[in-house]
Amino acid sequence: MTISVVLAEDQGMVLGAFAALLRLEPDLDVVATATDGHKALAAVLEHDPDVLVTDVEMPGISGLDVAAALRRDGHRARVVIVTTFARSGYLRRAMDSGVAGYVLKDAPIDQLVGVVRRVHAGERVVDPQLAMAAWDSADPMTDRERDVLRLAADGLPNGEIAARLHLAEGTVRNYLSTAITKLGVRNRIEAARLARDRGWL
């Protein structure tokens, strides 16, 4: 019995390479591919595959959002996330979204096929060293601090951030200040870098 797979990845060349590779496995059947989150979701609904293999960072909606949507609708497809960086925040959100597997693009290629099979067999598979890292790095920021930092990271000045969030400018400064302190950095730029690297934005 073959395992049907939908594959989503925004870089066409990588998508093509992964697809070609999975097709070499006799027990796997790549029934569709997609280059963004919306198309991935549509492809899953249309083809009802056993497994969805998806990148996190894609144009439009992310792979994590697709996983959350499938879980909400009670869809049977099991989701494997394949991503570039070991961002522990992503892993946490992935777990909350009921993702079944989490693999790094740094890993050897054989892992991908193996994880697809194990996930289809009912296991939940996470890169072990990544699972460790997720524990001791919980996001210390509050929702408001995250909102403000997200906008600050795009280069918006405080005044504009305040306008968008309907806050006083002093309030925006204060949230940024607490975020900077909590993260142990010197200014908004370093705060944004650190938070992004950890997957907290």
Residues that bind DNA in the complex, under the rule CB under 7 A: 142-145, 152, 157-159, 167-171, 173-177, 180-181, 186-189
Contact 52, 77 (CB under 8 A): yes
Task: Identify which of 152, 188, 185 has the alpha carbon closest to the alpha carbon of residue 167.
Answer: 152
- Smallest distance, Å, CB 164 to DNA? 12
Q: How many residues does the chain have?
A: 201
Q: Kindly give, in sequence order, each residue whose CB lies less than 8 Å from that of residue 50, ignoring residues fewer than 6 positions away.
A: 3, 4, 5, 77, 78, 120
103 counts as binding a copy of itself under rule CB under 8 A: yes
Residue 24 contacts a copy of itself per CB under 8 A: yes
Q: Residue 172's closest CA among 142, 136, 144?
A: 144
Choices 90-98, 127-135, 139-147, 152-160 (CB under 8 A): range interacting with a copy of itself:
152-160
Other CB atoms within a 10 A radius of the CB of residue 92 amount to: 18
Binding partner at 144 among DNA, a copy of itself, none, C-beta below 5 to 8 Å by kind: DNA
Site for a copy of itself contains 1 (CB under 8 A): no
Nearest CB to a copy of itself, comparing residues 2 and 187: 187
Output the smallest distance, CB 7 to a copy of itself, in A: 11
- Half-sphere exposure (CA, 13 Å, Cβ side) for 89? 12
Q: How far apart are CA 87 and CA 201, in angstroms?
A: 11
- Which of a copy of itself, DNA, none binds 108 (CB below 5-8 Å, type-dependent)? a copy of itself
Contact set with a copy of itself (CB under 8 A): 10-18, 20-21, 24, 82, 84, 103-112, 152-155, 157, 185-190, 192-193
